[in-house]
Amino acid sequence: MTNFTSPAIEARDLRKQFAGGAAVEDVSFPVSSGRVVGLLGPNGAGKTTTIRMLLGLVAPDSGTALIHGNPYAELTDPLSVVGAVLDAGGLHPGRSGRQHLRVAAAQARVGAGRVDKVLAEVDLTAAADRPISGYSLGMRQRIAIATALLGAPRILVLDEPANGLDPAGMRWLRQRIRAFADGGGAVLLSSHVLSDVSQIADDIVIMQAGRVVADLPLADALDANDGDLERFYLELTGAGSAVR
Ligand SMILES: Nc1ncnc2c1ncn2[C@@H]1O[C@H](COP(=O)(O)OP(=O)(O)OP(=O)(O)O)[C@@H](O)[C@H]1O
C-alpha cells in the first residue's frame, strides 16, 4: 500500500560493500514531496549505488530503501510511482524518439496516448520522428526524461541528468524539475558538479567516501558559508581527493 504520510523517498541506514570495499555506509536521508534534493559528492562517493538501492536495482547489505514507505520491489505499478533516468546512453540509435517511447510504453503497459503527451512535455514533438542517432546529447537526455515520465509518476530519480548538457539544456532541465516539484512531485538528482545542483535543489545531501557528510536545506548551507557553497563542499569532500 502506498503510504502518503511517509516521505516520497527514504534511505534508512543503507550499506553496501563491493569487493573493493564499502561503497555506501549508514546512508540515511528523506526526499519529501514538493522538494528537489541534490545528492552531491565526488566521483566514487556512492551516489549511484545509493540511487540503485533506492530503485531496487542493487540489494543493500543492510538498511532499507523506501518509496512512500515501501521497498521499490513491492510497488504494484512502479513506473506510475517513480520515473528514473540512470543512463541516457542506452537508447537504440536506429529508432526515432517516438518509436523508442512507443516500445517503452508497451513494455511498461502504459497507453500509447502517453507518448505524444510526454514528447510535448520535453519539447521534442518536432524531432520525434527523426532517428535518435541524429539527436544531440541534450535531446537524448530529454528522451530519457520523457521515458521516465511515461507512467505519470510523482517521483523522479535522476542520476547525473546534467551530464553533457549545454547552458540552454541546463536551463530547460532546471525549469522542468522546478515545475515538477512545484506541482507536488519529489525529485532526487545526483551530480558531482556543485553548480548544477546549487541552481536546482531545495536541499542538498553531500556524500564523501560512502557516507553522508551533510544533509541540509541549500539556503542554510549558503547562509552558514557567506554564500560560498564551493568552499563548504570542498571542505567536506576534500579538495584534490575527488577520485577514489
Ligand atoms: N558493481 C560494482 N562492483 C564493484 N564496485 C563497485 C560497483 N559499483 C560501484 N562500485 C564502487 O563503489 C564506489 C561508489 O561508486 P558509485 O558509482 O556509487 O559512486 P558515484 O558517487 O556515483 O560516482 P560517480 O560520480 O563517478 O558516478 C566506487 O568505489 C565504485 O568503484
- Say whether pLDDT at 168 is over 90: no
User: Residue 87 domain-assigned?
Assistant: no
Of 219 and 167, the structure prediction assigns the larger pLDDT to 219
Domain of 60, CATH number, reads: 3.40.50.300
| Count of helices and strands (H, E) across the chain | 8, 9
Secondary structure class of 212 (helix, strand, coil): strand
Q: Is there a single domain that holds both residue 239 and residue 124?
A: no
Q: Is there a single domain that holds both residue 161 and residue 187?
A: yes
Q: Is there a single domain that holds both residue 73 and residue 159?
A: yes
Which pLDDT belongs to residue 3? 59
Mutate to test the pocket of ligand 1, among 49, 160, 236 (most ligand atoms within 8 A of CB): 49
The number of the ligand 1 atom at minimal distance from the alpha carbon of 46 is 18
| Sequence letter at residue 1 | M
Q: Is there a single domain that holds both residue 136 and residue 237?
A: no
Which pLDDT belongs to residue 84? 94
Q: Is there a single domain that holds both residue 172 and residue 244?
A: yes
Q: Give 48 Cα–ligand 1 centroid separation in angstroms.
A: 7
Q: Is there a single domain that holds both residue 135 and residue 218?
A: no
Residue nearest to atom 5 of ligand 1 (CA): 18
Residue nearest to atom 25 of ligand 1 (CA): 43
Q: Give the pLDDT confidence of 42-65 residue by residue, as tens digits.
A: 989 999 999 999 999 999 999 999
pTM, two decimals, is: 0.92
576534500: which residue's cell?
A: 238
Domain of 129?
93-152
List 15's β-bridge partners, or say none.
62
Residue nearest to atom 30 of ligand 1 (CA): 44
CA atoms within 13 A on the CB side of 198: 15
| Pocket of ligand 1 from Cβ distances under 6 Å | 18-20, 23, 41, 43-49, 192, 244
State the alpha helices, DSSP H only, in 89-239.
Answer: 97-107, 113-121, 137-149, 167-182, 194-198, 218-224, 229-237
Q: Is there a single domain that holds both residue 66 and residue 178?
A: yes
Q: Is there a single domain that holds both residue 147 and residue 161?
A: no
Q: Give 210 Cα–ligand 1 centroid separation in angstroms.
A: 9
Which is nearest to 31 in space by CA: 47, 54, 1, 52? Answer: 54
Q: Give the pLDDT confidence of 91-128 residue by residue, as tens digits.
A: 788 899 999 999 999 988 898 899 999 999 999 999 99
Residue nearest to atom 2 of ligand 1 (CA): 18
Distance CA 42, CA 109 (A): 37
The number of the ligand 1 atom at minimal distance from the alpha carbon of 207 is 21
Is the interface score ipTM higher than 0.90? Answer: yes
Q: Is there a single domain that holds both residue 20 and residue 70?
A: yes
User: Residue 86 domain-assigned?
Assistant: no
The number of the ligand 1 atom at minimal distance from the alpha carbon of 16 is 12
Residue nearest to atom 16 of ligand 1 (CA): 46
User: Residue 200 domain-assigned?
Assistant: yes
Residue nearest to atom 4 of ligand 1 (CA): 18
Q: Give 213 Cα–ligand 1 centroid separation in angstroms.
A: 17
Residues in CB range of 16: below 8 A, 6 or more apart: 22, 23, 24, 46, 49, 53, 58, 60, 61
User: Residue 187 domain-assigned?
Assistant: yes
The number of the ligand 1 atom at minimal distance from the alpha carbon of 191 is 25
Count the domains in the chain: 2
Q: Is there a single domain that holds both residue 165 and residue 144?
A: no
The number of the ligand 1 atom at minimal distance from the alpha carbon of 41 is 21
Q: Give 186 Cα–ligand 1 centroid separation in angstroms.
A: 24
Which pLDDT belongs to residue 244? 39
